[in-house]
Amino acid sequence: MKKLVATILAMILLLSAASALADTMKVGELTYLNSDNVSRTELLNKVLEFVTQSGGAEMFGSAEALEMVEFDNLNAMQMALDAGQIDAMILYSTVGNYLAAVTGNYNVGLPKMLPEMDGTFDLTSPVEVAVLFATDAMMGTDFSFMMQEKDAALKDEFDQAIAAMQEEGVLAALNAGLKEGDEPEAVEMPVIEGAETIKVAVTGDLPPMDFTDASGKPAGYNTAILAEISKRINKNIELVSIDSASRAIALTSGSVDVVFWARVGAANPEALGINTDILPEKESWKTALDAISANSASVRDTTGDIPEGMILTAPYLHDIYLLVYPKA
């Protein structure tokens, strides 16, 4: 998936930032443990077609070259950005906006389109809504829990809990706090006497979702999700801190039963607050967006971003990638 993200961002997000940063850009990205090479030619053609037809081309500058630099963890990538070794980072919008708020040092979003640089879009602008929709269709990410195929019964329990939390509005309430940038707090896991205990890996490397507080205790959005699931499936959850790069190994070795996982997600306008009804009644727009969505679905099915022998629960969060770079 990292190849897909790098190329799409080069065409959509990073083109808009070229004039603000440099002609040749070094952009940091977190190493994906589940990456496969996929064909992206058709998707890129659809992107270019869409940008031209929507009138969005005027918002983008040009980049002579793009160099992607991989990092094993967020801390190392952020240090490289602060030291000027890279020009920008690609991060989920929730993480980028959190870092920008905490440090006060970064801009987030699409520089030429968004003068305020706060990672938001004008959801009353047809062009910006269309670009956001296209970005989501190509780079939207679903966050789920991953476990081994032999634990299909456990997956079903997680799925039922996530569905109930969705129906009851619990997920929406937690998502609201996440998107508002609330400081992550440690959440006490329920202790259910005599119940089975499952081990869930946490890395602390993706605040405010996966976060470690000053005392070294796991905190953040994901722990709040797990506390709710624990009560609903009547199982104790033990949080096991590991390095991000060790997640898959920890799962396959049996050191943990569950890990957090992200994969290419289908476009989810509702999750991003997008009202596609404001788009112009242009057949060319509809054709372009439909083509992008269809090809994105194909990419989702062929990226191989679920390791062999593993299964994913239903998603509990949807997000997109944005560009994070230093303020001038």
With 0-12 / 13-18 / 19 or more C-beta atoms within 10 angstroms meaning exposed / middle / buried, residue 136 is: buried
Where does the chain show beta strands of DSSP type E?
Answer: 24-30, 65-71, 88-92, 106-109, 141-148, 197-202, 205-206, 210-212, 218-219, 236-241, 259-264, 310-312, 317-319, 321-326
Q: How far apart (Å, rounded) are the C-alpha atoms in residues 51 and 54?
A: 5
Tokens 């699409």 map to which residue?
A: 110
- pLDDT > 90: what percent of the chain? 25
* Higher local confidence (pLDDT), 15 or 271: 271
pLDDT tens-digit readout, 190-214: 999 999 999 999 988 889 988 888 7
Task: Confirm if 260 and 201 have CB atoms less than 8 A apart.
Answer: yes
What is the reported pLDDT for 187? Answer: 82
* Higher local confidence (pLDDT), 161 or 187: 161
**Helices 170-179 + 152-168 axis angle, to 10:** 80
pLDDT tens-digit readout, 33-84: 444 333 334 444 454 455 555 554 444 433 334 577 888 889 999 999 999 9
What is the reported pLDDT for 63? Answer: 37
- Reported as a pLDDT band with limits 50, 70 and 90, residue 233 is very high
* Higher local confidence (pLDDT), 265 or 322: 322
- Reported as a pLDDT band with limits 50, 70 and 90, residue 186 is confident
Candidate ranges 177-181, 227-231, 283-287; pick with highest mean pLDDT = 227-231
Greatest distance between any 2 Cα atoms in the chain: 63
Burial 191-211 (b: 16+ CB within 10 A, else e): eeeeeeebbbbbbbbbbbbbb
- Reported as a pLDDT band with limits 50, 70 and 90, residue 14 is very low
Task: Confirm if 44 and 2 have CB atoms less than 8 A apart.
Answer: no
Task: Confirm if 291 and 54 have CB atoms less than 8 A apart.
Answer: no
pLDDT tens-digit readout, 274-311: 676 776 665 556 666 666 666 666 655 555 567 788 89
Kindly report which listed range (214-218, 235-239, 301-305) carries the lowest average pLDDT score.
Answer: 301-305
